[in-house]
Amino acid sequence: MAYAEPDSALLGGVPGNPDDLQKYFDDAADEIDATLGFVYETPITRSAEGGSLPRPVELILARINRFLASGRYIMAVASAGEEGNVHAYGWSLVKEAQAALTGLASGANELDAIRLPNPGTGRRRPAIANAEAQSNVDAFYGAFTGNQANPGMMFDPTFPSNLAAQEAERLRGW
């Protein structure tokens, strides 16, 4: 559910395709929900008391949606002589929308909307789990610091010391 309609896009003279714009507006609304979903119940449709959203909250969400969608659309379809850079107007719209989202997500600014229970000081972002029992990076460095070989290693971790022993034997004339 988009918070703004494609006919309100801020394209700055760039021609727009209504079907493409709808996708950009829907994607921008998803980004808003993903960012604010750690703080507010999404999609944001009701005030904190359960009634309809106050007009200022609707306008803030519509503006963020409009800026994100318009900026990303402009950057995708227009170069405007930027010579290898992103479209400056489109980028400014995206930056302003992201700044507003950051302020809302961090708690610096608040919406009159249904908040999720406070998760406390625990994790507030997705966790990433490593499926391997041991880090490949640790195994690599361990091989050159004298640690034992792990199953599946393709080289002898004692190689430097074996080489030294072989060289010493050669020098002694064995």
- Same structural domain, 142 and 101: no
- In the listed set 67, 88, 106, which residue is the last one of a domain according to the structure? 106
Burial of 170 (0-12, 13-18, 19+ CB in 10 A): exposed
What percent of the chain has a predicted confidence (pLDDT) above 70? 69
Q: What is the pLDDT of residue 95?
A: 94
- Same structural domain, 101 and 162: no
Domain count, the chain: 2
Q: What is the pLDDT of residue 93?
A: 94
How does pLDDT run across 79-131, given as a tens digit for each residue? 656 566 778 889 999 999 999 999 999 888 999 999 888 755 555 555 555 56
Q: Give the closest residue to 72 by CA, choosing from 87, 51, 54.
A: 87
Phi/psi region, residue 165 (left: phi>0; alpha: psi -120 to 50; beta: rest), is alpha
Structural domain boundaries enclosing 167: 136-172
